[in-house]
Amino acid sequence: MTTPAAVIVDAAAYAQAVEDAVRAAAAYYTGGTSPLDDDAYDRLVRGIADWEAEHPGRILPDSPTGKVAGGAAVGDVPHTVPMLSLDNVFSAEEFTAWTASLARRTGRDATRFSVGPKLDGLAIAARYSGGRLRQLITRGDGTAGEDVSHAIGTIEGLPEKLDEPVTVEIRGEVLMTSAQFEHANEIRTGHGGQPFANPRNAAAGTLRARERVYTVPMTFFGYGLLPLPGTDAALAERMNGMAHSGLMALAADLGVHTSARTAVPDTVAETPDEVLARVKEIAALRAELPFGIDGIVVKADHAADRVAAGSGSRAPRWAIAYKLPAVEKITRLLDVEWNVGRTGVIAPRGVLEPVVIDGSTITYATLHNPADITRRDLRLGDHVMVHRAGDVIPRIEAPVAHLRTGEERPVEFPARCPRCGSDIDTTEERWRCAQGRNCHLVASLAYAAGRDQLDIEGLGTTRVVQLVEKGLVADLADLFTLRRDQLLSLERMGETSTDNLLAAIAGAKQQPLSRVLCALGVRGTGRSMSRRIARHFATMDHVRAADADAMQRVDGIGAEKAPSIVAELAELAPLIDRLAAVGVNMTEPGAIWPADAASEGDDPTAVPTAGGPLDGMTVVVTGAMTGSLEKLSRNEMNELVERAGGRSSSSVSKRTTLVVAGEGAGSKRAKAEQLGVRLATPDEFAAMVAGLLG
Ligand code: IVH
């Protein structure tokens, strides 16, 4: 699957595109950070090529088209045989077309192929004489490359001494494995440098760096073996006649690291179909490989086929790169969220400007831990390189630091556990809520005791933490059996606060079913949904007797939610039993269960109504309440609406029947006026529901 070429409209845009591409290619080959990800670069170069095809007389000399390395790299060490690039195919059809053209050139159908991973690093030539590694040269412009012999000794898999004293050139790819990349960035940022955006970039920068006070290891994979001017004539002749697979076996025998020792070794395929099957296998393994690949290289294996096919100026005709979709894109880091896991680990997660990578839209990426954010010097608003391969969770590699505008803001780290509000243990790299596994318990108890649930005054997070840490409560029901002496034993707990808390806990037993349900914290049922369930079923017994079909009859519960609510309530059964046993109310005042209608099967969708003053009305409350309603929270107002037979809603639409507009009401009031929906002041509303105001 190819992405479309960039569209270039005129000569000025063409010149700009050439300049951008040259800058990006230079960064790509020298380890600078490119403002373009690979996809964007490919698109740009294809756009340039399209424009040049239409304006052949106006091609700029700098243009990257038709050049090895986009014309970016230079060097003064001539290659004995040009180091070429590869042409690409992106689909089975394109691959089949290539095999047909290869067959035309070789004059035979049954070409044998060698198929292996296209390693995502940099090409280098390693010259050995008498078995000793003498010189390392980059690909450069393909004709001459740069001497990077200073890197000898830092590249694993490229021995300084071969197992035989031969004079040969080994060609291959230098890259960083994922572990080497992590290590390189740790060292680099430890020395005050900016992290590398990805392993390729890190390998390019590291290979060229001459005077570093530190060294970072890289890995070599050989994929080519050729004679040099000093090679023994018999060996040279033997090599020239060898199949590619044979040359690779020889390289491995000499002690060079090749793909043979990876999960995706080069294999031989007898037919194009076998090649395509192998392409699929390698693609499937890509996400788990400890190094990056960006495609599969398919080569004619027989020496005679290679000679017959020949080479163009940029790429050989006997090999092709079957490109895999890009797994990295540049996007922006919009926010960092902190999520608390089951064990209390507090993990940051990056919120991204949505970006499509390999067909999926990515909005979140893992950030591991706070130290990782610091180490990578990530800031909100940064452009970041995002990596996603297969089903592996997307990750942020690094910021593209030179795209910074100065508007970026530091990432704020939480001072307290975002779930339960306790202290955070920051002694390890992975931050953890001081409550550990109990964090969830603290959070759920504090939530249950909250104003809109059981409304237990005096039972805030600090108190809950004390109770949990002392082992006095292990679930919600334990709250109701707390003894006076137990509470008194807590720090900063005097006689008066103890008595007040005990009274508040006792009072909580009288809360309506809707609030008890809400306190249980069933996923997908907040305050308003809990009220609807409670009003629909009237008692906890009816709620618990409901199967998914019955649950779905509650307004707002769909086919997806119903089974999970039913299942979760079943899980909570022992807790609900204990709550009932300690005297917690399990009924919804004013609600009526239509047992008769249901048992006679009259109307299965029948919803009980209380026949109250707001019967059948949909009511929106907005602004600050005054008068007799002044003390009511928004939740309590909504409860009141529903007790009076109405339906509470938070947004005004044509279906709204009444908007209670308090002080400072703004857009909702305006919308009601615009739609002609009836408005009421808090006092007028209080009069409507007077009978229900206690
Ligand atoms: S063979 C004549 N085999 O991909 C070129 N190249 O995009 C023969 N590459 O320049 C190259 N893995 O740097 C070959 N298994 C592999 C490769 C591979 C990565 C690189 C190589 C080449 C570039 C072309």
Among residues 347, 397, 331, the alpha carbon closest in space to that of 39 is found at 331
Same domain, 121 and 248: yes
Least confidently predicted of 128-137, 253-262, 598-607: 598-607
- Closest approach atom of ligand 1 to CA 259: 15
Q: Per-residue pLDDT averaged across 217-230, rounded?
A: 96
Same domain, 453 and 477: yes
Same domain, 472 and 514: no
User: What amino acid positions are annotated as catalytic residues?
Assistant: 118
How far is the centre of ligand 1, averaged over its atoms, from the C-alpha of 466 (Å)?
63
How far is the centre of ligand 1, averaged over its atoms, from the C-alpha of 132 (Å)?
24
| pLDDT tens digits, one per residue of 443-461 | 899 999 999 999 999 999 9
Which of 508, 531, 564 is the endpoint of a domain?
A: 508
| pLDDT tens digits, one per residue of 354-366 | 999 988 899 999 8
How far is the centre of ligand 1, averaged over its atoms, from the C-alpha of 349 (Å)?
36
In a domain, 613, yes or no: no
Question: Which is it for strands 168-175 and 122-129: parallel, antiparallel or unpaired?
Answer: antiparallel
CA angle 88, 92, 95 (to 5 degrees): 45
C-alpha 167/C-alpha 128 separation (Å) is: 5
Asked if the model's pLDDT at residue 604 lies above 70, the reply is no
Same domain, 529 and 554: yes
C-alpha 483/C-alpha 24 separation (Å) is: 71
pLDDT at 618 (0 to 100): 95
Note the helical H segments in 417-491. Answer: 439-448, 461-469, 476-479, 484-488
Dihedral angle of Cα 287, 293, 299, 303, to the nearest 10 degrees: -120
**Are 136 and 152 within 8 A, CB to CB?**
yes
Which CATH number do you get for residue 649?
Answer: 3.40.50.10190
C-alpha 178/C-alpha 28 separation (Å) is: 18
Please give the full DSSP string across 369-387, using - where no structure is assigned: -HHHHHHHT-EET-EEEEE
Sorted by sequence, the CB contacts under 8 Å of residue 183 that are 6+ apart come out as 216, 217
Can you point out the beta strands (E) in 44-90?
Answer: 77-78, 88-89
How far is the centre of ligand 1, averaged over its atoms, from the C-alpha of 85 (Å)?
7
In a domain, 460, yes or no: yes
pLDDT at 32 (0 to 100): 66
Asked if the model's pLDDT at residue 687 lies above 50, the reply is yes
Question: Which is it for strands 618-622 and 658-661: parallel, antiparallel or unpaired?
Answer: parallel
Tokens of 133: 């590694």
Which CATH number do you get for residue 576?
Answer: 1.10.150.20
Confidence bin at 523 (pLDDT 50/70/90) = confident
- Closest approach atom of ligand 1 to CA 315: 2
DSSP lists the bridge partners of residue 332 as: 383
**68, 297, 323: residue to mutate for ligand 1 pocket, most atoms within 8 A of CB:** 297
Q: Per-residue pLDDT averaged across 263-290, rounded?
A: 95
How far is the centre of ligand 1, averaged over its atoms, from the C-alpha of 273 (Å)?
22
Dihedral pair phi/psi, residue 175, rounded to 5°: -145, 175
How far is the centre of ligand 1, averaged over its atoms, from the C-alpha of 644 (Å)?
75
Q: Per-residue pLDDT averaged across 420-443, rounded?
A: 92
Q: Which amino acid is at 267?
A: T
- Closest approach atom of ligand 1 to CA 83: 2
C-alpha 372/C-alpha 252 separation (Å) is: 38
How far is the centre of ligand 1, averaged over its atoms, from the C-alpha of 578 (Å)?
68
C-alpha 205/C-alpha 220 separation (Å) is: 15
Same domain, 194 and 297: yes
How far is the centre of ligand 1, averaged over its atoms, from the C-alpha of 133 (Å)?
21
**Are 417 and 423 within 8 A, CB to CB?**
yes
Asked if the model's pLDDT at residue 406 lies above 80, the reply is yes
Q: What percent of the chain has pLDDT over 90?
A: 70
Asked if the model's pLDDT at residue 147 lies above 90, the reply is yes
Confidence bin at 597 (pLDDT 50/70/90) = very low
Dihedral pair phi/psi, residue 680, rounded to 5°: -140, 145
pLDDT at 86 (0 to 100): 96
Same domain, 367 and 334: yes
| Domain of residue 600, residue span | 509-606
C-alpha 274/C-alpha 378 separation (Å) is: 45
pLDDT at 24 (0 to 100): 84
Asked if the model's pLDDT at residue 596 lies above 60, the reply is no
**86, 226, 301: residue to mutate for ligand 1 pocket, most atoms within 8 A of CB:** 86
Same domain, 226 and 316: yes
Q: Per-residue pLDDT averaged across 558-580, rounded?
A: 94
- Closest approach atom of ligand 1 to CA 299: 1
C-alpha 641/C-alpha 213 separation (Å) is: 72
What is the CA 507 to chain-centroid distance, rounded? Answer: 46
Q: Is the dihedral of CA 16, 18, 21, 27 positive or negative?
A: negative
Among residues 356, 357, 364, 361, the alpha carbon closest in space to that of 337 is found at 364
DSSP 261: G
How far is the centre of ligand 1, averaged over its atoms, from the C-alpha of 513 (Å)?
69
Which of 573, 606, 639 is the endpoint of a domain?
A: 606
| pLDDT tens digits, one per residue of 73-96 | 667 899 999 999 999 999 999 999
CA angle 234, 235, 238 (to 5 degrees): 90
Asked if the model's pLDDT at residue 139 lies above 90, the reply is yes
Q: Whose CA is nearest to atom 18 of ligand 1?
A: 118
Q: Which residues line ligand 1 (CB under 6 A)?
A: 84-86, 116, 118-119, 123, 173, 223-224, 297, 316, 319, 321
**Cβ neighbours of 693 (radius 10 Å):** 13
pLDDT at 213 (0 to 100): 76
Same domain, 299 and 392: no
In a domain, 5, yes or no: no
Q: How many domains does the chain have?
A: 6
Same domain, 528 and 588: yes
| Maximum alpha-carbon separation in the chain | 109
**Are 423 and 395 within 8 A, CB to CB?**
no
Which of 508, 530, 546 is the endpoint of a domain?
A: 508
Q: Whose CA is nearest to atom 2 of ligand 1?
A: 84
DSSP 316: B
Provide the CB-side half-sphere exposure for 35 (13 A, CA). Answer: 10
C-alpha 111/C-alpha 410 separation (Å) is: 58
Please tell me the total number of residues recorded for the chain in this structure: 694
Among residues 323, 321, 318, 322, the alpha carbon closest in space to that of 112 is found at 318
Same domain, 277 and 414: no
Q: Whose CA is nearest to atom 14 of ligand 1?
A: 223
Among residues 352, 424, 449, the alpha carbon closest in space to that of 394 is found at 352
Q: Is the dihedral of CA 485, 489, 495, 497 positive or negative?
A: negative
Same domain, 399 and 451: no
Among residues 79, 104, 494, the alpha carbon closest in space to that of 305 is found at 104
Dihedral pair phi/psi, residue 492, rounded to 5°: 55, 35
Confidence bin at 2 (pLDDT 50/70/90) = low
What is the CA 72 to chain-centroid distance, rounded? Answer: 33
Same domain, 277 and 141: yes
C-alpha 238/C-alpha 600 separation (Å) is: 93
Which CATH number do you get for residue 196?
Answer: 3.30.470.30
Q: Is 497 helix (H, G, I), strand (E, B) or coil?
A: helix
Dihedral pair phi/psi, residue 380, rounded to 5°: -70, 135
pLDDT at 285 (0 to 100): 94
Dihedral pair phi/psi, residue 386, rounded to 5°: -110, 135
What is the CA 463 to chain-centroid distance, rounded? Answer: 37
Q: What is the mean pLDDT of the chain?
A: 91
Tokens of 463: 């108190």
